[in-house]
Amino acid sequence: MAQASDLYDERLQRIKTAVALAKPDRVPCVPLGDSFAAKLVGEKLSVFCTGRPEAAYKTMIRAFTSLGEIDGIQHAGFDANMLSTIWLSKVRMPGVDLPEDNLWQVEEQELMKPEDYDVIIKDGWQKFTDDFWLNKLDNLGARVQPFFASMPAAMQAWKDLGIVPFSPVIVTIPYEYFCGARSMREFIKDLYRRPDKVQEAMDVVMPVLVEQARQLARGLNLHGLWVGGWRSASEFLSRPLWERFVFPYYKQIVEALVDEGAIPVLHWDSNWTRDLEYLLQFPKAKCVFSPDGATDIFKAKEVLGDHMCIMGDVPAEMLALATPEKVTEYCKRLISEIGPSGFILAQGCDIPPNAKPENVRAMIASVHQ
């Protein structure tokens, strides 16, 4: 029987081959499922989602080692407070604000005011977020610290099983932070009413985010990082706004990560089909485009297939409602049409808590058939 370290090397090589746009011995499968893992092992979401990060990653390991052979896992652990750090929004928690077994949800609320752009420009991003975490997000730092502290052990625990913790850290661009903190409606109005001020603040924030991303990649010796995008999706913004406030910032962070030798995993929710051509400006064979089912993945293959590995995108609705046969059929289509070179099989975004276990098993099994 193969040693875990041999398996780990073999699986990492398989993933890296796909990222390099070559053809691995088979398509790798690198899923993600946090709330799904809790449900699968019979744990209440209120118990799983916060305050006990060590137990949470062990729950994820228990779940994913029971579903078939996977090559990697996108996130090594979970704490719902982590969502507040990248959205700068409050999160409604099961067992606190919601019934015990409901899914956590980010709350749309205007916590940052228009005058805060000036504060950011004057005092810098670090000082602003320190204050924001403490006063607007109910001392987020104290709540999220145990999760950050658990990261190295969580990554090692997966590695010890021969499973690659592929992209356990999330970084993103100023747009996403501002949009979350201002609320989407108010922020979009800012883009019309005070565009220069928004851009000036973004340009103050960006070097800090790039440096943080570099240090995370270096400090944790990461293979990949999620470069997240949700509210900055093409479907929400006209192209002039997207070209000014979104794309140049992604380009900076992607180039910095590639420079660090890390793989930027463009975990981009919602529909980005309109702007896929722009991704050709990112370094070739160094990134992963990971749409959630809303972007046309077949169009992505057409545009980016010779330039960037694609990961995805079994949709949440299919995992929740379809039959295993349907899931297998879709996965086989992905493997043959998006792969077999330059492709990693995964769910779109995150496996939902009400996914049928047999559907997740079918997804994982499809790379072995």
| Least distance between another protein and beta carbon 84 (Å) | 15
Smallest distance, another protein to C-beta of residue 350, A: 10
Q: Which is nearer to another protein, 41 or 241 (CB)?
A: 241
* Closest CB 316 distance from another protein, rounded Å: 5
Q: Contact 297/275 with Cβ under 8 angstroms? A: no
Question: How near is the Cβ of 321 to another protein at its closest, in Å?
Answer: 5
User: How many whole angstroms separate alpha carbon 177 and alpha carbon 218?
Assistant: 23
Closest to another protein by CB, 116 vs 275, is 275
Specify the residue, 162 or 180, whose C-beta has the smaller distance to another protein. 180
Secondary structure class of 305 (helix, strand, coil)? coil
Q: Which helix (H) or strand (E) holds 190?
A: helix 184-193
Please report how close the Cβ of residue 35 comes to another protein at its closest, in angstroms: 9
How far, in Å, CA of 341 to CA of 23, rounded?
A: 4
Q: Which two tokens stand for residue 124?
A: 């810098």
Classify 351 as helix, strand or coil: coil
**What phi and psi, each to the nearest 5 degrees, are found at residue 295?**
-70, 145
At 306, is the secondary structure helix, strand, or coil?
coil
The residue among 342 and 348 lying less far from another protein, judged by its C-beta, is 348
Three-class SS state of 229? strand
User: Residue 304 Cβ, how far from another protein at the closest point, in Å?
Assistant: 21
Partnered with residue 313 across adjacent β-strands are: 346
Min CB(337)–another protein separation in Å: 20
- Output 17 or 109, the one with its CB closest to another protein: 109
- Indicate the residue among 17 and 102 with the shorter CB distance to another protein: 102
Torsion sign, CA atoms 17, 247, 74, 346:
negative
- Contact at 8 Å (CB) between 314 and 347? yes
CB 100 within 8 A of CB 35: no
Which residues of this chain interact with another protein, rule CB under 8 A?
A: 92, 98-99, 102-103, 105, 107-108, 184-185, 188-189, 191-193, 234-238, 241, 270, 274, 293-294, 315-322, 352-355
Nearer to another protein, 34 or 71 (CB): 34
Name the pairing type of β-strands 343-347 and 224-227: unpaired
